[in-house]
Structure 1
Amino acid sequence: MKTEVVIVGGGPSGLAVSACLSRFSIPNVILEREDCYGSLWKKRVYDRVKLHLAKEFCELPHMHHPRATHTFMSRDDFVRYLDDYVSHFGLRPLFGKSVESATFDSDSRMWAVSARDAATGEVEEHLSRFLVVATGENAEGILPSFRGLDGFTGEILHSCHFKSAARFAGKRVLVVGSGNSGMEIAFDLCNYGAQTSISVRGPFHVLTKEMVYMGMVMLNHVSVQIVDALVLLMCRFQFGDLSGFGIIRPSEGPFSLKAKTGRSPVIDVGTLGKIKRGEIKVMKEVAGVAGGEVRFTDGETRSFDAIIFATGYRSTAADWLQDDGGLLNEEGFPKRAFPDHWKGGNGLFFAGLSRRGLAGVAMDAKKIAEDIKTYQGGPSGRST
């Protein structure tokens, strides 16, 4: 099959790129390994998840959220938005297409993308002048390696497979990782009666969603240093000094840190209150595992029935993308820093790999479509 652009991934990033290209009447095809688009949102996120950013910061290109939608959307709200987006732009992803390799041919100046069909088992080849990697930041969960983990006698689970805390009621559960997923899962576990602990590795910021909203609006008018100072002052009034509870704030402000590293602050959903009341125990970093016991770096040892790893994700693009010119790091993310992360050489692009949420997805999609429109005469001579 031959087309102008092959897009690998049918999540929000791939859909956004396809919509932007379609507005320019540029032929494109989306290859999606799952049996639906937006599979992360439709099949993998846990039941109680909500978007932590206000809806105006969570829009895909050329389509606003309905006015009646709550400012902070539920998972179901966002799935409905994706359904409307696909319908509005007439997007037709090809499902069950697992990409195994993508190679650039310097003679023909074409990309050859090999994808295995889930139904038939046959490998199809798609040829295109441009290739967009849109497989998402959360393609594969990362499980850290701890001494003795393979001999743990309880249940081991990555957060990507966590759906509900109901089945952990009454169990001793350790959540490893104190990002948004880890803190929210710990909150959910505690609500369902699990004896919950959370392992914290390093410093992190905790804000409310209202603080984040205010900060993002203010960034349009004042410097990030002023925004950080104001938000941190609000945090001191709202939460007080958290160091006595095992939570240390970074020396750099939350919005400065986000701009430099892409690392988001934790949005408190009520977890801090449970930590302060002693309902959730904060533990140090895991040092090792022996049977059903976990040892921490401060020497404390506790027994657990389950460990849930909220330890992040990796992109799988590096597993199948050939001739990327060394643009991807070991986690499958572009080595180029934002805002130059989206563009490679030879007609290669990356969408949704900037660690800047759905606003970053929209930005990438627009830039990619504009660039392909400009260079439709051929990818030769493009910067690498």
Structure 2
Amino acid sequence: MADGEAGSGKVCVVGAGPAGMAIARALIAQEIDFDIFERHHDVGGLWDQTNPGSPVYDSAHFISSKTQSHYHDFPMPDHYPDYPSHRQILAYMRGFADAYGLRERIRFDVGVTSAVRDGDGWTVETSDGRTGRYAALICATGTNWSPAMPAYPGEFTGEMRHSHSYRSMSEFAGKRVLVIGAGNSGVDIACDAAQSAAHAAISMRRGYHFVPKHIFGTPSDEFAASGPHLPMWLTQKVFAALIQLLHGKPSRYGLQEPDHRLFETHPIMNTQLLHHLAHGDIEPKPDVERFEGRTVHFKDGTAEEFDLILCATGYTWVIPYLAAERFKWKGGRPDLYMNLFSREDRSLYALGYMETNGGAYKLFDEMADLIARTIAARRQGGTAAAAVDRLIREDSPDLSGGIQFVGSARHSTYVEISAYRKHMDNVRKRLGWPGLKDGVYDRLRATGADARAAA
């Protein structure tokens, strides 16, 4: 085979979390043979708290609603709440694996330790000591596994750790707790501390917009998806005004005012924090300036003593089994076409290495289908392969949706969900590929519609 040619050999998929299961079903639909390796003993990825390194805490729920977060042709059970718990999400994913017969395609308790580009394919070494040859590699191992810790002057002599190790609010009992970071995990954990710690505080380096999970009784993302669809500049103004009408300005709660417009950072889907701030259960603090023993000095000149600091400061994106130079990186993120395709290597793909302002899991099926169809086209060769290769090599879409995202590493490859969906549709039209229609996966169902009833 020529360099980068997929040929007729097997595909190696790494990871059986949400992304890995989506790509497995798509490959089956395209009749592409593959092996999928999962280092844990079951499917579910980070949503399985027993999976070593899982960052999921007891109070974790989806921040996108069930109607915007499910696999295609496989809705979440009707009895699920608007925002399912991590236990329900895990049960749903396992029901999905059962429904489509994915378990027998997965090699559990086997991780990939090394994937090396070797001539016309990949040499893959696994944790059970085996080596295999594959025509293509799909990385689907996710991003929230390598905690990023902040660095501040001085030394904190109390307990300080990353939030990925946090599980239960009982860990806060009797302690003075500071949560650093205001992402969705940070505000969730701060709300846990408000209910169980002797004293709770949250430190934010900037102000944020806090989006309610319901608008007029409807999940916010469902409300946005149902329209009306306004120009982004007007959507930002209308939603910002609506949020301010509902909750007032953040400064009313002692928080910094946002230095950016709504949607220019990843949305914070939590208004419980505002509730606890309004009741004095959480103390708002600005960014940390330095540590001195158990005393934390803040940039507003105040200082307080704490017993425990939890850093909800995000994750470093790593693909440990792959040499870093195999992907180009931008701001600590792999710089891929459509967040899926290597522009340099026709046998290298990724799924799940993206962030967006909506339910990414519902996109996974569309994205997985694009990967599977691309592999099939490259195997076919001729004009189909040439069209795919030209698109991946030359197309440079603007996926911002007109939003000027803040200049942080996290947002270097961020996409606006409506713009991403629109461009996926354009790609399909240009290549003559159909979209996913209801019932397209019916022939693959292994155990029928009752499978998800167990969720």
TM over 0.5, shorter chain: yes
Structure 2 counterpart of 1:232: 240
Q: CA RMSD in A?
A: 2.3
- Find the residue that maps to 2:214 and give its secondary structure: helix
Secondary structure of 1:266 counterpart: coil
Q: CA deviation at 1:68?
A: 2.9
Paired amino acid for 1:130 = A
The residue number in structure 1 matching 2:269 is 267
Hey, what does 2:430 align to over in structure 1?
A: none
DSSP-derived class of the 1:141 partner: coil
Q: Percent identity?
A: 27
Cα-to-partner distance string for 1:241-292 (whole Å, 9 max, x where unaligned): 11241232243222xx2xxxxx421112411111123221111111222221
- SS of 2:283's equivalent in the other structure is strand
**Offset, 1:370:** 1.8
Q: CA deviation at 1:213?
A: 2.2
Structure 1 residue 112 corresponds to structure 2 residue 123: yes
User: Aligned pair 1:103/2:101, yes or no?
Assistant: no
Question: Structure 2: which amino acid aligns with 1:20?
Answer: A
Is residue 175–residue 186 contact of structure 1 (8 Å, CA) maintained in 2?
yes
- The one-character-per-residue Cα deviations of 1:317-373 (angstroms, maximum 9, x if unpaired) are 1x3313754423463x2224xx62210122111101111331343332121112112
Query: Is the 8 Å Cα contact of residues 255 and 284 (structure 2) preserved in structure 1?
Result: yes
Select which of 370, 374, 378 maps to 2:377.
374
Distance 1:264 1:362 in 2: 22
The separation in 2 between residues aligned to 1:315 and 1:334, in whole angstroms, is: 9
Q: Does 1:21 align with 2:21?
A: no
Number of residue equivalences: 363
- Greater strand content: 1
Alignment-mate amino acid for residue 96 of structure 1: D
Label 1:167 to 1:101 Cα distance change in 2 as closer, same or farther (>3 A): same
| 8 Å Cα contact 1:171-1:195 kept in structure 2 | yes
149, 162, 167: which one aligns with 1:143: 149
1:120 match: none
Contact 2:67-2:76 at 8 Å conserved across structures: yes
Q: Which residue of 217, 221, 230 maps to 2:229?
A: 221
What is aligned with 1:348? 348
Contact 1:205 1:250 in 2 (8 A): no
Cα deviation, 1:163-209, whole Å, max 9, x if unaligned, reads 11113122100000011111110001111244111110113221101
The answer for the alignment partner of 2:300 in structure 1 is 298
> How far, CA to CA, are the matches of 1:324 and 1:39 in structure 2?
25
Could you tell me which residue of structure 1 aligns to residue 82 of structure 2? 71
- 1:364 aligned onto 2:367: yes
**Residue matched to 2:288:** 286
Q: Quote the residue 2:60 is aligned against.
A: 49
Conserved in 1, the CA contact under 8 Å of 2:285 and 2:298? yes
Matched residue type, 2:97: V
Q: What runs of 5+ residues in structure 1 fail to find an aligned partner?
A: 118-122, 258-262
With normalisation by structure 2, the TM-score equals 0.74
How far 1:10 sits from its partner (Å)? 1.6
Between 307-316 and 357-366, report the one with greater CA deviation.
357-366
